[in-house]
Amino acid sequence: MKEHYYLDNAATSWPKPEPVYTTMDKFFRSYGVNPGRGDHEMAVEAENMVSETRRMLAAFFNFGGDPNRVVFTQNATDSLNIGLYGLLNEGDHVVTTRLEHNSVLRPLNHLQRDHGVDVTFVARDAQGYVDPEDIGRAITPKTKVVVVNHASNVLGSVQDLEAIGKFSRETGSVFVVDTCQSAGVLPIDMDDLGIDVLTFTGHKGLLGPMGIGGMIVAEGIEVRPARVGGTGVDSVSPFHPDAYPYHLEAGTVSVPGIAGLNAAQKWFAELGRQLLGSAAGNVSHTQACRAALGHVHAVERAHTERLESAFRDLEGVTVYGPNGARYRVATLSMNIDAMPADQVGAMLDADYHVCVRTGVHCAPLAHKDENTVDKKGTVRFSPGYFTDDEDIDQAIAGVTELVTG
Ligand SMILES: Cc1ncc(COP(=O)(O)O)c(C=O)c1O
């Protein structure tokens, strides 16, 4: 019997790989200081770690540009706000989808209400997939930004970024992608997919701590800074520097958070090298991490398949989102027809120690389309890489007992 059966990795991954804990502790104790070039030895060591993390993340997302264009923020919400407010002006049009998280919807709603930006919310099919042609049809000559969530945090469906990116590129709009639910699980090739602004959060699939996120801004894309202030460089200038990463990084960033992300990146690469075995040779960080991601996705997928097939077999249960073999991440939403979602979550927690998330998951339009608002949203199970069969057995047993009484 475990104390907790944690199936809430879409909210935040837990546990983290062991080196994330040990590295953060070591960072704080040995050189947990403000990074700075050319200052004292400890500051240089901290700066080197931060720069190394930018390089690893650039490689992880296959971004061939200057790693200084990997900018650290607090989280994906912060990155999306910086990106959307920094790109859009009065009179601009934005294309997005009805699957977005509030970290996209709310900035866009505020920009629409208060700043004269026009927004089109593209529909999706019953399983949670947006037809890229619909994105193409929604683009107008005024479209400045196309912003989509790669993988839905409610349904787990994964959008065809390649096809959407093609429409965005052909029409000269800026392609912004929210990778919160896919980074650390699916390979994402920023350059090949034509992503102009890739936003990520550190604490979900990337297996880092909370309070660290980021964005990668392709060369040639101009994002106005949301905040200006101290950067430690060019301090005599009355104005904020144009050079990246400082352009979008003002004030002290979460260096302990970056240390955790650094350790998580090395953990992915190490896992990939172990999986490749003798074929690992001198593989790059990108290649090693790609091998790891294939494995992580397969492990998580197997857990989701077990949950999905057990839930679909139960009378009185509705499972939402992708059916069968469509490309998806591990996030799985369901409801017990006779009970509101929050009651199911509370009973799973109290009686079975199963940790799931219930509610609207900050994606209100997804729930309006599923007619789940009156059910108080859905019960969301999200296995992670460290989930084991016992967690899944317990979840299935709990739901089965709740349904069959
Ligand atoms: C799809 C999606 N986008 C954005 C976010 C926001 O992430 P954060 O809270 O780390 O800013 C989340 C978090 O739940 C999410 O699932």
* Residue 333 φ/ψ region, left for φ over 0, alpha for ψ in the -120 to 50 degree band, beta for the rest: beta
**Does the pLDDT at position 152 exceed 90?**
yes
Mutate to test the pocket of ligand 1, among 358, 362, 365, 382 (most ligand atoms within 8 A of CB): 362
Mutate to test the pocket of ligand 1, among 77, 154, 254 (most ligand atoms within 8 A of CB): 77
Q: What's the rounded mean pLDDT across residues 179-200?
A: 97
Measured CA to CA, the distance from residue 342 to residue 381 in angstroms comes to 13
For residue 322, the CA-to-ligand 1 centroid distance in Å is 20
Token digits of residue 215: 């964005």
Asked if residue 332 lies in contact with residue 366, where contact means CB atoms within 8 angstroms, the answer is no
Asked whether 182 lines ligand 1 (CB < 6 A), one says no
CB of 157 within 6 A of ligand 1: the answer is: no
Domain 5-15+287-404 and domain 18-265 have a common topology? no
Q: 262 in helix, strand or coil?
A: helix
What separation in Å is there between the alpha carbon of 9 and the centre of ligand 1?
A: 12
Query: 58: which 2 tokens?
Result: 């650039």
C-beta of 180 in contact with ligand 1 (< 6 A): yes
Spatial separation of the C-alpha atoms in residues 185 and 204, rounded to whole Å: 10
Q: State if residue 103 touches ligand 1 by the CB under 6 angstroms criterion.
A: yes
Average the pLDDT over 36-44 and give the result. 87
Q: Which CATH architecture has domain 18-265?
A: 3-Layer(aba) Sandwich (3.40)
At 45, the pLDDT band (50, 70, 90 cuts) reads very high
Of 303, 283, 281, 292, the closest CA to residue 390 belongs to 303
pLDDT in tens, 238-277: 999 999 999 999 999 999 999 999 999 999 999 999 999 9
What digits encode the pLDDT tens for the residues 159-187? 999 999 999 999 999 999 999 999 999 99
Closest CA to 333 of 351, 318, 354: 318
d(CA 189, CA 199): 13
Regarding beta strands 213-217 and 197-201, do their DSSP bridges make them parallel or antiparallel, or are they unpaired? antiparallel
The predicted structure's pLDDT at residue 36 = 84
pLDDT for 279 beyond 90: no
CA 122 to ligand 1 centroid distance, Å:
20
pLDDT in tens, 125-137: 999 999 999 999 9
Q: Ligand 1: does its nearest atom lie under 6 Å from the Cβ of 75? A: yes
Q: Does the pLDDT value for residue 208 go beyond 80?
A: yes
The model's confidence at residue 39, banded by pLDDT at 50, 70 and 90, is: confident
DSSP state of 373: T
- pLDDT, position 281: 85
159 lines ligand 1 (CB under 6 A): no
β-bridge partners, 120:
95
pLDDT of residue 405: 81
Q: Does residue 54 have its Cβ closer than 6 Å to ligand 1?
A: no
pLDDT at 58 over 90: yes
Please tell me the distance between residue 35's alpha carbon and the centre of ligand 1 in angstroms. 27
Between the CA of 178 and the centroid of ligand 1 the distance, in Å, is 8
In the chain, pLDDT over 70 holds for what percent of residues? 100
- When pLDDT is averaged across residues 369-398 and rounded to a whole number, the result is 96
Query: pLDDT tens, 304-357?
Result: 999 999 999 999 999 999 987 789 999 999 999 999 999 999 999 999 999 999
Beta bridge partners of 354: 5
Residue 307 is predicted with a pLDDT of 97
DSSP per position, 307-332: HHHHHHTSTTEEE-S--SSSSB-S-E
C-beta 181 within 6 A of ligand 1: yes
Q: How many CB atoms lie within 10 A of CB 131?
A: 16
Q: What b-and-e string marks burial along 320-342, b requiring 16 or more CB atoms within 10 Å of the CB?
A: bbbeeeeebbbbbbbbbeebbbe
101 lines ligand 1 (CB under 6 A): yes
What pLDDT, on the 0 to 100 scale, is given for residue 276?
96
Ligand 1 lined by 73 (C-beta under 6 Å): no
Per DSSP bridges, beta strands 93-97 and 118-122 are parallel
Q: How far is CA 89 from the centre of its chain?
A: 26
Burial 226-241 (b: 16+ CB within 10 A, else e): eeeeebbeeeeeeebb
Q: So what's the pLDDT on residue 38? A: 75
The CATH number of domain 5-15+287-404 is 3.90.1150.10: yes
Indicate which atom in ligand 1 lies nearest the CA of residue 100.
1
Report the pLDDT value the prediction gives residue 324, as an integer from 0 to 100.
Answer: 74
For the chain, which residues make up each domain, given as ranges? 5-15+287-404, 18-265
Residue with the smallest CA separation from ligand 1 atom 12 is 180
pLDDT class of 73 with cuts at 50, 70, 90: very high
pLDDT for residue 131: 98
Mean pLDDT of the chain: 96
